[in-house]
Structure 1
Amino acid sequence: MKPAKRYSDLMSELLKELTEMSNSADVPVGALVLDKNLEVIAKSFNNRVEKNDPTAHAEIEAIRIAGQKLNNWRLDDCTLIVTLEPCQMCSGAILQSRISRVVFGAFEPKTGFLVSRNSNSENTNIEIISGVMEEKNSKILSDWFRDKRSNKDMI
């Protein structure tokens, strides 16, 4: 299977799970780490609310799981698939973990740091594939925020 098709298929699976989790208290973001053979070795979702941990973003949680599974902090030749463009904190973790490729769905113009707000992204060795299933990713996020605002829940 070609990598682009594999990324789309896996993003679709993440989106399906996020749709089923629409009542989640946390922003619906999911992440996967793939090994060099494009097999899933880690999966996580935002867990900040559940863990009372501001660093429990989907990307960081998935990177931690992958490092433990591989028994190595270096995730060379691994790919991170995430439904939303990573923030500055997550981008730092991506750089530190040596992940070689990031595939993301929706752009995050306010806090996205790989493309949207980072003019130095071309100075890294990370391959960035952006906008994969962007409309579906954006809709899940927009719907979640709309529902939270209409219910006056805390975000």
Structure 2
Amino acid sequence: MSSWNDLLKNTGLVFVKSVVPARCARTPMKNHEDWMLEAINLARDAERAGEVPVGAIVVRDNEIIGKGFNSPISRNDPTAHAEIVAMRDAASNIGNYRLTGTTLYVTLEPCMMCAGAMVHARIDHLVYGTEDPKTGVIKSRANMFELDFLNHRIEITADILSQECGELLKKFFRQRRKN
């Protein structure tokens, strides 16, 4: 049996073998659940720090470029919600406040402040875990992203690992009420 090179020898054509870089070959694409587990781990960090357990990550090209967890108490900063901290981290890491081509994963439906910051940062896709019936403005109280005067639209995926995300919050507040 002839090889491709033997068959092509008399034609003047050359057989080129395609090689996939090792880094690409070993980096499987993660799915929403995988990324949400990363955010849940950050929410646990918030809980250990005595903060409301909410975690967030910003992903671009199958890579985390920003991380954050709720920290308004420890930072004395009312804007230090998980989403804001993650977007600040991502913007700092890439050197640009515009986070185009990114997906933000957060364990709890965003509030108005965080949703507004996502629009301003040009986040492409929001994936959240559980609804926030008190202050959530994506589904629970309203859908801020549907306001016609906004200059950017964000794709929404809801209820990813909702039970796990919700249980973290329920457990935290049950413990708080005990003390």
TM-score of the superposition, structure 1-length normalised?
Answer: 0.88
Structure 1 alignment gaps of length 5 or more: none
State which of 79, 101, 115 in structure 2 corresponds to 1:91: 115
- Greater RCO structure (CA 8 Å; 6+ sep): 1
Matched residue, 2:75: 51
Partner of 2:173: 145
Aligned length: 148
Asked whether 1:31 is paired with 2:56, we answer: yes
2:36 and 2:144 mapped to 1: Cα distance? 26
Instruction: Give the partner amino acid of 2:164.
Output: K
In the TM superposition, residue 11 of structure 1 has moved relative to its aligned partner by 1.1
Q: Which residue of 2 aligns with 1:10?
A: 35
Distance in structure 1 (CA, Å) of the matches to 2:135 and 2:46? 23
1:72 paired residue among 96, 110, 126: 96
In the alignment, structure 2 segments of 5+ residues that lack a partner are 1-27
For 1:62 and 1:20, the matched residues in 2 are separated by 14
> Does structure 2 retain, via aligned residues, the 8 Å contact 1:38–1:79?
no
Residue type of the alignment partner of 2:165: N
Contact 1:31 1:44 in 2 (8 A): yes
Deviation at 1:19, TM superposition (A): 3.9
- Secondary structure of 2:31's aligned partner: helix
1:62 partner SS: helix
Q: What is the letter of the counterpart of residue 133 of structure 2?
A: P
Q: Spell out, residue by residue over 1:76-132, the C-alpha distance to the aligned partner (whole angstroms, 9 max, x if none).
A: 111100000000000010010000100000100110012212245335520000000
RMSD: 1.7
Post-superposition offset of 1:10: 1.7
Larger Rg: 2
